[in-house]
Amino acid sequence: MWPLIRQLADLQEFCFGYRRFAEFEDEAKAKTLLKRKTFRLAGQHKPINPLERVGLARTVLQDGDGATRLQLAALGKAKLDYVTQALKIARSFDCVAFASIVSRQVERPPRDGFLRKDYAYLFERFHHCLEHRQNGTEMGLVVFDELEKTQSHLLVGQMDGYFQRTQKGRRRSRLIIPEPLFVHSDLTTMIQIADLVAYIVAWGVRLRGMGAPQGTELSPFADLVCVMRYYWPTPTGQHDVWGFTHIRKLLPNEKRQ
């Protein structure tokens, strides 16, 4: 992972003049990097030489109040270039993506001791991936962007119950460490990559049976993310395993039973 993180840090410096996103504050989040204003600003000017662009983008990040249209356009282009190249670098290091996609209209279950179905599907596919890598000798860590402490405790408790008190969970705990780690996204490079993937999946990826419109500006990024999604083919093709799943109901089977 360290060589991957170093390449992403080099990319940050190439695009923005900074090697750590900690300098950016909210600029590091996908919702800022890929918001519509970014596309609009990036399209307002002809292509800018990358060596000139980095200086202009850095100036805006240091003091954006007096930014010129050229500087804002340079920052917009730098953001889009960063996201494109970051996803390509992650893929070149054999990163794979998993996603449970839930519509906003799906009713959220009460906060009780049961693990939500979207988490259970993620762990199912994560376990499948680990089971087929290195003959099942690799262990998987679950890392979350830090939540409000009450939410974090609730999630830890739900995962504990799932991995210790359900049959599927106990089997998957042989390869997935049941206790998650929590980190700050602005200090942890790979959480930022996960944030990019999650945002692009939410707004740009549409699987069969999903009716929400696809964001056209995000289509090129959605293609890059879909190349990263986990896929395990079977001989017949009838039970292939995909890392992206559309979840229509969040109530877990254990609760219904």
Convert the pLDDT of each residue in 157-188 to its tens digit. 999 999 999 999 999 999 999 999 999 877 88
**Which range marks the domain in which residue 86 is found?**
2-92
Residue type, 13: E
DSSP state of 97: B
The SS3 assignment for 188 reads coil
Predicted local confidence at residue 21, as pLDDT = 67
Lowest mean pLDDT among 14-23, 100-109, 125-134, 229-238: 14-23
Residues 135 and 39 in one domain: no
Residues 59 and 112 in one domain: no
Count of structural domains, the chain? 2
**Burial class of residue 256 in the structure, from the number of CB atoms within 10 Å of its CB (0-12 exposed, 13-18 middle, 19+ buried):** exposed
pLDDT at 96 over 60: yes
Residues 214 and 196 in one domain: yes
Q: Are 83 and 65 in contact (CB under 8 A)?
A: no
Residues 187 and 248 in one domain: yes
Residues 73 and 149 in one domain: no
Residues 77 and 134 in one domain: no
pLDDT at 44 over 90: no
What the block records as the tokens of 25 is 């504050």
Residues 116 and 166 in one domain: yes
Residues 72 and 105 in one domain: no
Residues 187 and 66 in one domain: no
How much is the pTM? 0.90
Displacement of CA 171 from its chain's centroid (Å): 26
Lowest mean pLDDT among 3-17, 24-38, 69-83: 24-38
What the block records as the tokens of 224 is 């890059």
Residues 212 and 244 in one domain: yes
Of 67, 92, 117, the one marking the end of a domain is 92
Predicted local confidence at residue 194, as pLDDT = 94
What the block records as the tokens of 51 is 């060596």
Separation of alpha carbons 176 and 186, rounded Å:
25
> Mean of the pLDDT values across residues 196-202?
94
pLDDT at 75 over 70: yes
Residues 221 and 246 in one domain: yes
Of 92, 117, 135, the one marking the end of a domain is 92
Would you place residue 243 in the very low, low, confident or very high pLDDT band (cuts 50, 70, 90)? very high
Residues 184 and 247 in one domain: yes
The residues with which 101 forms a beta bridge, in sequence order, are: 246
HSE (side-chain half, CA atoms, 13 Å) at 120: 22
Of 92, 108, 137, the one marking the end of a domain is 92
Give me the helices (H) in the chain, please.
Answer: 2-16, 30-33, 36-42, 50-62, 69-92, 117-131, 149-165, 167-172, 189-204, 219-228, 253-256
